[in-house]
Amino acid sequence: MSLQSNLISASALLCLLITSSEAPAELYRWVDETGRVQYSDRIPPTAIDKAHVELSNEGAVIRTIDPVKSAEEVRREQELQRLRDERAELLERQRAADRLLLRTYRSVDDLMMMRDGKLAAIDVMIQSTKGNIRRQQNRLNRLQADAANLERVGKPVHPALIRDVTATENGIEDDLGAILRHERAKQDIYEKFAAELERFRRLKDIQATPQEVAQEAQPMQLDNLIVCTTPAECDQLWRQAVSYVETHATMPVESSSDKVMLTLPPTSDEDISLIVSRIRDKTGGGTTIFLDLQCASYTATVSSCRTPARVVVLKGFRSALNNAP
């Protein structure tokens, strides 16, 4: 703005303050379309929505009025405020979680003991379910033998016997599905506690030793399952799974159907006894082909059943099926 313009604007303000014995209660200062500073006792309509300053009779600034925001500016500011509120809420949640974590556990060992206790509880349920599967399989073998004997002598198989066979098969399938859910729950526990261990150490400024890292290593991942979605894909993977069991199990096949195949239980720690199942997700999420170990005793822990040789077989399952021709 030129010196001449400034002088004119200042003169205008001086006139407004001096020439009237009854000076207006308010004066306004704004910038017009040409960039010149203007003074007046009222705001013209063209300047109402623009930034302007309200002055006292003495020329002191009473207040500054910001320009009216556009609809887009209002929307943008509201979105920014929403993001700020969300960030503040997340930070408060994290602080609350940190306080709870530090109140609940005094050391890394406390965290690992809690994790291992939860895993052990699930292992007990898994072992109990496996024992129930073995009992149901023995019952199924007897029922199928009874049906085969009747057919061999030319007698009809009673509908009640057929119903028992179907119910037992469904029971086995349900128990296998329960084991699969338990295994996935164990993975969730490991992931949750791995995150809490990392956070706890950060809050306490603790550096993990190599021994602790090895001790807290993730367990065997769920490489012993594979999910399929279409009938053709599932049929192909099922044939490959059956072939995998026949190749890697050291115990002979005891029973086989289009849903479950299992070998005889192991008689020693060197035996590899397997069970493979085709479990349909009842919520419509596809079908899972799941390979699992059979143990000589279902009163033992899951870890005692997993010898190094057996673990290798489980860990190679998914890769073998994915790479099969």
User: Of the candidates 219, 189, 186, 193, which has an alpha carbon nearest to the alpha carbon of residue 108?
Assistant: 193
User: Of the candidates 129, 126, 182, 183, which has an alpha carbon nearest to the alpha carbon of residue 302?
Assistant: 126
What is the per-residue pLDDT for 63?
73
| Predicted confidence (pLDDT) per residue in 54-108, tens digit | 776 666 776 777 776 677 877 888 899 999 999 999 999 999 999 999 999 999 9
Phi-psi region of 286 (alpha: psi -120 to 50; beta: other; left: phi over 0): left
The stretch 307-313 carries a mean pLDDT of 90
159-204 and 108-152 are packed helices; what angle lies between their axes, rounded to 10 degrees?
170
Distance CA 169, CA 139 (A): 10
| Predicted confidence (pLDDT) per residue in 211-243, tens digit | 776 666 655 567 888 999 898 999 999 999 999
Mean pLDDT, the chain, as a whole number?
A: 83
Q: Are 226 and 322 in contact (CB under 8 A)?
A: yes
What is the per-residue pLDDT for 216?
64
What is the per-residue pLDDT for 281?
79
Q: Are 226 and 277 in contact (CB under 8 A)?
A: no
Phi, psi (degrees; rounded to nearest 5) at 145 = -65, -40
Residue whose entry in the numeric block shows the structure tokens 């209660």? 25
What is the per-residue pLDDT for 96?
95
